[in-house]
Structure 1
Amino acid sequence: MSNQVQPPASLEKVGSPSTQHDLEAQNLGLLDTDGGASLRRQISVQLSAEQFERLYLQPGGAKAKGDLAKRFANPTPLGVASFLLCLTPFSCYLMGWVGTTTGAAPALVGAMLFVGGLGLTLAGLLEWVLGNTFTSVVFITFGGFWWSFGYLLDVTNDVATTLGAASTDYNGGIAMYLIWWAVLVLIYLIASLRTNVVFVALFTFLEITFWLLVTVYLRLAKGNPNVEMLLKAAGAFGFLTTIMGWWLEFALLMECTGVPVKLPVGDLSGFLSGRRHHAD
């Protein structure tokens, strides 16, 4: 990670309260015009490089451009939570927990549309405002994924009825759609090699999940209904994906609320570093 958020060297030797007061008054802009504590001071002084990387998850630890990140809340926990609240129960359905099957998927249509779709899209737009390109693209595209699957599974749209749930067109069409999602997730996986270990593990498990689902739908398209074990395997890898997501969500929320519980995420911002990133 770059050292853009390292505290000023002069802070290392601050001792007495009077010295600290003088330093704040001279260099840190302790008070805003309305008399409140400066958010700029909180961002530039209190956050370590690792904490900043956790919050913004930019490849290479690149800092968001401008000062919007200093004035607005961090939308990353919203995006992660929206993703998890759809994928976690869906993975449980695939594994057959409490007797469920893929037939329970329509029960998630509301969550797919208004939690996954809406929540991820909103979080992605806010990440875009903050200048966090990678997380913005990931959140908005996965928001679209949950919108599309919610629409597909909504019985009022009669997609399966129109094409025939056992037809080659229906299952082959979904398989082709998921193939290109697997390609996109692979690109995200490569990009995540410069974020942290948790993100890398998340995209690795998700990539495997997509290819297993592709295999399921290809088999169904060819008239082979023997896909139960593949569905369970897809559910298991999907659940591993969510474990990584819940770990990240917990770390983010503990960090932003100041709870003194720090989970390691494994900083990879210096990995595959061909050049340094500098703030504009």
Structure 2
Amino acid sequence: MQNELIKIDYTGNPAPLGLLGFGMTTVLLNIHNAGFVPISSMILSMGIFYGGIAQVIAGIMEWKKGNTFASTAFISYGFFWLTLVGLLVLPKIGWWDAIPESANTMGVYLSMWGLFTLVMFVGTFKLNKALQFVFGSLTILFVLLAAGEFSGNTIFGTIAGYEGIICGLSAIYTGLAEVLNEVYGRTVCPLGIVQRD
């Protein structure tokens, strides 16, 4: 009988990187949506580099660990940020038609992301309550943003801004909680672990 080698994974947990990339970028964009600051290169740069590239890297690391849920989430939302920046910037630099996109176009885009997020939210029922809050509030955020685009009513965008700040802060909390809990080797910041069957 041949002895099997046990492979031990000494790599770090990439989830905090993905959660922080998502959370911090979400807070900054929704500070704009709530009406506090104009859209600027600060928000767009965060969308490209931290919300986008850092999340994709975290997703690839999760894939190497065999974590399908986290890999799908981080890579998808990383590319969400990159496509969003593309939608905002490409027409302005002449890489695409200068004709403004219709509200329905952006509404459909946001609706697709809302549907994706809703299904991912169902997946969190087996994970922890902190992630349930992140994905649940993100689903609501996409619904509000899509409603604003379809209706043309700016109040939806403002409400979405405040709700998005809460969503982003919840992702920041979840990411930092994972870091602190691992560093201290105990629960410093609770995540609301779900009892598995």
Equivalent residues of 1:93, 1:105 under 8 A apart: no
Please state if 1:85 is matched with 2:85.
no
> TM (normalized to structure 1)?
0.63
Paired residue type of 2:129 = V
In structure 2, the residue matched to 1:197 is 129
In structure 1, the residue matched to 2:51 is 116
Deviations 1:140-177 (A, max 9, x none): 00011001011112232565x6222xxxx532111111
Please state if 1:148 is matched with 2:83.
yes
CA distance in 1 between partners of 2:106 and 2:61 (Å): 30
Paired residue type of 1:175 = G
Counting only pairs closer than 5 Å after superposition, residues 1-280 of structure 1 correspond to structure 2 as 67=7, 70-97=9-36, 100-101=37-38, 104-105=39-40, 107-154=42-89, 155-157=92-94, 159=96, 162-164=98-100, 169-220=101-152, 226-227=153-154, 229-258=155-184, 262-270=188-196, 273=197
Displacement after TM superposition at 1:255 (Å): 2.1
SS of equivalent to 1:162? coil
- Greater RCO (Cα-Cα under 8 Å, separation 6 or more): 2
SS of equivalent to 2:93? helix
Paired residue type of 1:91 = N
Equivalent residues of 2:24, 2:172 under 8 A apart: no
Equivalent residues of 1:90, 1:105 under 8 A apart: no
RMSD of the TM alignment (CA)? 2.0
Displacement after TM superposition at 1:123 (Å): 0.3
> TM (normalized to structure 2)?
0.88
In structure 2, list runs of 5 or more residues that go unmatched: 1-5
Change in CA separation of 1:216 and 1:105 when aligned onto 2, cut-off 3 Å: farther
Paired residue type of 2:130 = V
Equivalent residues of 2:181, 2:189 under 8 A apart: no
In structure 2, the residue matched to 1:22 is none
Equivalent residues of 2:52, 2:77 under 8 A apart: yes
In structure 1, list runs of 5 or more residues that go unmatched: 1-65, 221-225, 274-280
Displacement after TM superposition at 1:242 (Å): 1.4
Equivalent residues of 2:34, 2:161 under 8 A apart: yes
Aligned residues: 190
Misfit runs of 4+, over 3 Å: none
CA distance in 1 between partners of 2:113 and 2:195 (Å): 25
Equivalent residues of 2:31, 2:161 under 8 A apart: yes
CA distance in 2 between partners of 1:252 and 1:197 (Å): 13
Displacement after TM superposition at 1:268 (Å): 1.3
SS of equivalent to 1:255? helix
Equivalent residues of 1:181, 1:210 under 8 A apart: yes
